[in-house]
Amino acid sequence: MFLNSSLRFSLYILIIGTVGCGGGTDSKQLPKTAPASGVVTLNGKPLVFATVTFVPQGATKGIECVGMTDESGKYTLKQVRGGEGVPPGEYRVVINQLATSDGTPVKPGGEVPPITLGAVESLPPIYSSFTNSKLSAKVTDTGGEFPFELKGKGKK
């Protein structure tokens, strides 16, 4: 069976994405982690279905750690490739929330892809930009709670 070039390229990207650049998830290769969680609010109300990303800064070892807020704004972080928690160190924190044109937050993992719904980022760049976010966190060896109280315009 022959695949057209577009399909071959898509399969190639899928395989590369699955394999990754840094080898397997051997626990000897991954940095030690500490539990990290928190609550995100916007103007005092829970921020639902938002992605919280801790991006290592400076000498901090590891890769991005991500969590998703639930309906009460709570999140727990995991390494992108690996287990629960976050390696100790300094992080830029990026919080994203996709919302439809009427301001309804888009629940991740839904049947309809967010782009089909016309979803766009609902938070300002000071929270949602990987280069301009003003949020930060310092994770110690014991981890901890990292609440973020956002202010300003958000959709819903």
- For the segment 80-134, what is each residue's pLDDT rounded down to a tens digit? 877 899 999 999 999 999 988 888 888 877 665 555 567 889 999 999 999 999 9
Longest dimension (CA), the chain: 57
Q: How many other CB atoms are found less than 10 A from the CB of residue 118?
A: 12
Range of the domain at 103: 29-150
5 located within any domain = no
127 located within any domain = yes
Kindly report, residue by residue over 28-75, the tens digit of the pLDDT: 577 889 999 999 999 999 999 999 999 999 999 888 999 999 999 999
118 located within any domain = yes
110 located within any domain = yes
7 located within any domain = no
pLDDT score recorded for residue 96? 95
pLDDT score recorded for residue 134? 96
The structure's pTM equals 0.76
How many domains are contained in the chain?
A: 1
pLDDT score recorded for residue 28? 55
By the 8 A CB rule, do 51 and 77 touch? no
Q: Which residues of 145-154 are buried (b: 16+ CB within 10 A; e: fewer)?
A: ebebebeeeb
35 located within any domain = yes
CA–CA distance, 91 with 140 (Å, rounded to integer): 11
23 located within any domain = no
* CATH of residue 82: 2.60.40.10
The gap from C-alpha 87 to its chain's centroid, in whole angstroms, comes to 15
